[in-house]
Amino acid sequence: MRTPAVQLIAPLALCALGAIAATPALRATQAWIRATPGTDVAAAYLTLTNTGTQPITVVGVRSSVAAQAMIHETKLVGATSSMRPRESLLIAPGATVRLAPDGLHVMLHGLSHVLKAGDEVPLVLLLGDGGTVALTAHVRALDQE
């Protein structure tokens, strides 16, 4: 016969194990955005690291401060720079992908307010397996990289 304490602890332990197992293997770090005086568009930059053993696909982005958020890629062909949306971003096991100026980045359209240095912007990465990764991007002054 189980004691009442064991009856309470066993389900809690199983819940804790489930929470650990459900933790995404995608780490998002160094997230930042340049201040946006006079515009309702901004680009977010960050570093993504797959700490797991399986590939991870980022299929979208959300932010409560933007009407629309999406992954974009800037490419320079000759002297012409072009930007286009990316449907998804695959991160191999053990790989790190850097979203940086003049390359991959997150575009935020329809900002709800002007972003000032020191602000924090919530972002949520949507994963191909249905999971999410929440993070905060810190707004930097225009002259900061």
pLDDT of 12 strictly over 60: no
In this structure, what are the phi and psi dihedrals at residue 100, rounded to the nearest 5 degrees? -145, 165
Q: Domain span at residue 86?
A: 24-140
Q: Is position 11 within any domain?
A: no
Q: What's the gap between Cα 15 and its chain centre?
A: 26
Q: Is position 33 within any domain?
A: yes
Whole-model pTM?
Answer: 0.81
Q: What is the helix (H) or strand (E) element at residue 10, kind and residue range? A: helix 4-21
Q: What is the CATH number of the domain that holds 48?
A: 2.60.40.1890
Q: Is position 5 within any domain?
A: no
pLDDT of 23 strictly over 80: no
Q: Is position 2 within any domain?
A: no
Q: Is position 56 within any domain?
A: yes
The per-residue pLDDT for range 86-138, each reduced to its tens digit, is 999 999 999 999 999 989 999 999 999 999 999 999 999 999 999 999 999 99
Question: In whole angstroms, what is the distance from residue 1 CA to residue 10 CA?
Answer: 14
Give the residue-averaged pLDDT of 62-89. 91
Higher pLDDT, residue 20 or 131: 131
Q: Are 44 and 106 in contact (CB under 8 A)?
A: yes
Q: Is position 44 within any domain?
A: yes
Q: Is position 12 within any domain?
A: no
Number of folded domains in the chain? 1
**CA torsion, ordered 38, 125, 70, 104, to nearest 10 deg:** 90
Q: Is position 112 within any domain?
A: yes
